[in-house]
Structure 1
Amino acid sequence: MLTIHVADEVRHGTETVKDGAVAVDGSRIAAVGLPEELLERFPGARVRTWPGVLGPGRVHEGPLPDAPSPRERVHAVLKSGATAVLREYVDSPELRAAAARNEVLVLASAQAPAITVHGRADLAVFDGTGACLATVCAGRLVHRRR
């Protein structure tokens, strides 16, 4: 299903689009621009509106947070706005499986995340205090703060 994520700001590469939007088709980014343009281009898309700044998902660069289970450790990373972790910290078969089930990228080294058309739809929305409001990993909404 195609979803258009609308936010107060969208950080796309070196650009910031005020009142911008990102269209997500499956696990990929279909387009970035103004909401009106994307709604015209993709009629019938589901629209999610977020108060805050939408940008690329982060890379969690340290050990995964402590939690009772591997699934909860991965979920804690997603709640922070991260959609990727470093391989050196995903050091057990259980953690690797939990990351794979949630489509969290496991990277050999940190890479600068970016929103690119046709790229993987890894997005995060942050409020003015820096708190994560929502995380989209491979096109799926995997965390939403209420």
Structure 2
Amino acid sequence: MRTIHAATLLRSTPEGEPVAGRAVLVTGNRIEAVAPLDELTEAYPQVRVRRWAGTLGPALVHDGPLPPAPSPRERVHALFRLGVAAVLAAHVTEPELRAAAVRNDVAVLDRVRPPALVPTGRADLAVFADDGRCLATVVAGRLVHRRA
């Protein structure tokens, strides 16, 4: 299933300059295209468009212990509220925690890799408000967090 994610601004990398009018086309768990929104909606008129207020960019890589919570599942979901889609293997050594991460499609990495929105890349996206709060997180193409 295809989805177009569009926001007020888009950053291809966390440090990249935000650009207006661009969007990300996601097919399954992969990014199919990063292009102007009007080009994508014209080329794919039947595709659902999710519009977000804020800045859309790559989801983050969490480099530290996971937030405390009563269960491994809740610790993983706490990451989603931060805009995170990947963690370092060194911080998910407990079997239950690693299983919860894998079950929720969180990428478990051996080392930090700079996140970026690139065609054929994994569809890990996050939308942030001007004050830095995470408004939405998409992990492997699946919306896993949306601030009410």
| Same fold, TM-score > 0.5, yes or no | yes
Using the alignment, how far apart are the partners of 1:34 and 1:51 within structure 2? 17
**What are structure 2's unaligned runs of at least 5 residues?**
none
Deviations 1:37-96 (A, max 9, x none): 001111211110000100001001110000000000000011100100011110111111
Using the alignment, how far apart are the partners of 1:15 and 1:119 within structure 2? 20
Q: % of aligned pairs identical? A: 58
With normalisation by structure 2, the TM-score equals: 0.95
Residue 15 of structure 1 and its aligned partner are, at CA, apart by: 5.3
1:2 paired residue number: 2
Residue 109 of structure 1 and its aligned partner are, at CA, apart by: 1.1
Aligned positions, number? 146
1:117 paired residue number: 119
Q: Name segments (4+ residues, structure 1) moved above 4 Å.
A: none
Using the alignment, how far apart are the partners of 1:125 and 1:22 within structure 2? 12
Instruction: Give the conservation status (yes or no) of the 8 Å contact 1:24–1:30.
Output: yes
Using the alignment, how far apart are the partners of 2:115 and 2:23 within structure 1? 18
2:94 paired residue number: 92
Which of 40, 45, 49 is matched with 1:38 structurally? 40
2:109 paired residue number: 107
Q: What is the Cα-based RMSD across aligned positions, in Å?
A: 1.0
Counterpart AA for 1:63: P
1:12 paired residue number: 12
Using the alignment, how far apart are the partners of 1:34 and 1:109 within structure 2? 32
With normalisation by structure 1, the TM-score equals: 0.96
Using the alignment, how far apart are the partners of 1:71 and 1:15 within structure 2? 34
